[in-house]
Structure 1
Amino acid sequence: MTTWLPGWLTTPPGSDDLVLAITGNSVVRSEGHWLVRWQEVESFAITGCAPVSLGQWGGEPLYVVELDADRLPETVEIIPLRDAILIMEDAPAEMLGTGFQVWQWWRDHRYCGRCGDVTGLHPLERAKWCEACGIPWYPRVAPCVIVVIRRENRMLLARSSRVKRHFYSLIAGFVEPGESLEQAVVREVKEETGLDVTNIRYRSSQPWPFPHQLMVGFFADYRSGDLVLQEDELADADWYGPEDLPPIPPATTIAGRLIRDMARELSQQREDQ
């Protein structure tokens, strides 16, 4: 497996350096390869958009750049980022996610959010720098909680009213200012389901580039309440055992992994009884 090492350079790419080519919210793949050489796509880059450093791929410098979709040859593949991460097993999901998040940060901070001046590069770290204000602008990361709620030998799974894919997934939401992660779990569960939870325990996390979340996963136990769904968030929800799971997200997602982890825990405890 090729080694992916996140990093930061202020120097532009050489003609033979690797680039992750994107257009809009999609990856540009050429001849089945997720990365291309800068000299192969330089002529298709959007005017004024220079490649941005991502780190190293297999020991080689790696950059991300946006290409003009109207000028791309018909021989390339345009793959939506969400499809690449959810469906394509050979996709380097972590690297793709980092690339899209870094590019969005770069695009959104070309000007200082305080004074409006053009930003430059910070000399020491991954940040845009406003000389007039003397402040850095770092890539944005939005923390979100996502939780499996257990009630005896079953878990709560819900289907979103917004997402078209017919997955049953988990309760999730953004952390608000002044909240701890655990407080966010309690609030989001109450808002979306009407339930109260207890025994909240951390499990794992995953960067999620839609557009810049850090998903923080928890297990929690049902304490009280009846299901009352927030209809603009959830279309359906119910309690499921490990033997009767509905369609769930793939294991490339934190939701899919948390559900599978809970299913194994429930199955093991049932065997031990």
Structure 2
Amino acid sequence: MDYLNYYSLKKSRNHDELRSSPTEKILKLTNITYNFLFFLEGKVITKEKNPFFFKSNKVSKNLLKFPLSFIANKKNNFYILCSLKKDDLKKIGFLKTCTLLNIREFLFDYKTRYSSLISAGYSLHKWQHNNRYCGSCGSITKMDDNGNSIVCTKIKCGKKIFPVVYPTVIVSISCGKMILLARSLEWKKNLYSCLAGFCEQNESAEDAVKREVYEEVGLEVEKINYKYSQFWPFSSNLMLGFEAKVSPRKNAIKINKKEIDEAKWFSSNEIKSLCRKHQLILPKREAIAYSLIQDWIKKN
């Protein structure tokens, strides 16, 4: 499995056309199988661990009463998001026997080829929920473009809002044969990862790397190289992965306790040994941090 693309949804060639088509048109096509993904206030609704348990060649009048959004299509399979409220569960009979699962736990525990579709649906659902009111005038908003944009209902305003992603840098920092790993205050015991942080306004990704590293551990990095990216659905981050080096003469760590709990230099052998003893926990395979760390280990 390509874990870097675990949550990244590859769009079909006609995705943009379908996404911007009226919902009524999309849901009345022939020779199409509609696969529904139900979310209730941030949790995914499943049946026997299957989130796409409800499929149909025709969308019922009852389902049309609820907010439906186009996620993606794969040939003749269309994937549709249905965002629900608590009271809605009583109105859709077949949902009464289903299970509500935390999205993060579900995607981590039940690895599936549909992970990118589920994460895309979750990101859209969360964005819709967070934009129920217009940021300009405070009026109620309504969905447009198959749920892929939102419009203010106040005629004089009419502001149109589109889904956003938040650029975030994450960096593996090395010094000779050592790599820097750190942990946040709220993380479980022994879990360490790479340093990361949001890009600020009017800031390049490379400058964000320099700033975040200096703010958190007091190190000045050099030779910053871009590696690869990954979409992280839980907070709609576009993770931009970098590697950087620190001079051996300037590798003294100064931890900012407001930012992180601990940071240490590790050798490749130390990482392997501590992981075997369960004294060190690395990020899950689905996280870009895991790939950055493993790439460094292979070289060292």
TM-score range, shorter-chain basis?
0.7 to 0.9
Answer yes or no: is the 8 Å Cα contact 1:44–1:68 preserved in 2.
no
Kept in 2: contact 1:4–1:58 (CA 8 A): no
**Match of residue 5 from structure 2:** none
Match of 1:23 among 40, 46, 50: 40
Q: 1:124 & 1:199 partners in 2: Cα distance?
A: 44
Contact 1:17/1:60 (CA < 8 Å) preserved in 2? yes
Determine the structure 2 residue equivalent to 1:11: 23
Cα distance in 2, alignment partners of residues 196 and 28 from structure 1? 46
Q: How far did residue 87 of structure 1 move? A: 3.4
- Counterpart in 1 of 2:180? 156
Q: Which residue of 2 aligns with 1:248?
A: 282
Report the equivalent of 1:205. Answer: 229
Q: 1:61 aligns with which of 59, 73, 78?
A: 78
SS at match of 2:234: coil
- Equivalent position SS for 2:212: helix
Cα distance, 1:225 vs structure 2:
4.4
2:36 counterpart SS class: strand
- Consecutive unaligned residues of structure 2, counting only runs of 5 or more, are 2-8, 272-279
Q: Residues 45 and 51 of structure 2 are in contact (CA less than 8 Å); yes or no, is this contact kept in structure 1?
A: yes
Q: CA RMSD in A?
A: 3.3
1:156–1:170 CA contact under 8 A, matched in 2: yes
Task: Return the offset for 1:201.
Answer: 0.6
Identity of aligned residues (%): 28
Q: Does the 8 Å contact 1:27/1:81 carry over to 2?
A: yes
- Normalising by structure 1, we get a TM-score of 0.82
**Greater share of helix:** 2
CA distance 1:106–1:193, shift in 2 (3 Å): same
How is 1:183-194 mapped onto 2 (pairs within 5 angstroms)? Answer: 183-194=207-218
The answer (yes or no) to whether the contact 2:169–2:239 under 8 Å persists in 1 is yes
The aligned residue for residue 122 of structure 2 is: 100
Could you state the TM-score of these two structures normalised by the residue count of structure 2?
A: 0.76
Residues of 2 paired with 1:54 and 1:180: CA distance? 31
1:236 lines up with 2:262 in the alignment: yes
Structure 1: gaps (5+ residues):
267-273
How many pairs were matched up? 264
| Cα separation, 2, equivalents of 1:59 and 1:241 | 50
| Cα contact 2:172–2:242 (8 A) shared by 1 | yes
Contact 2:167/2:238 (<8 A) preserved: yes
Moved over 6 A (4+): 42-45
Distance 1:227 1:68 in 2: 48
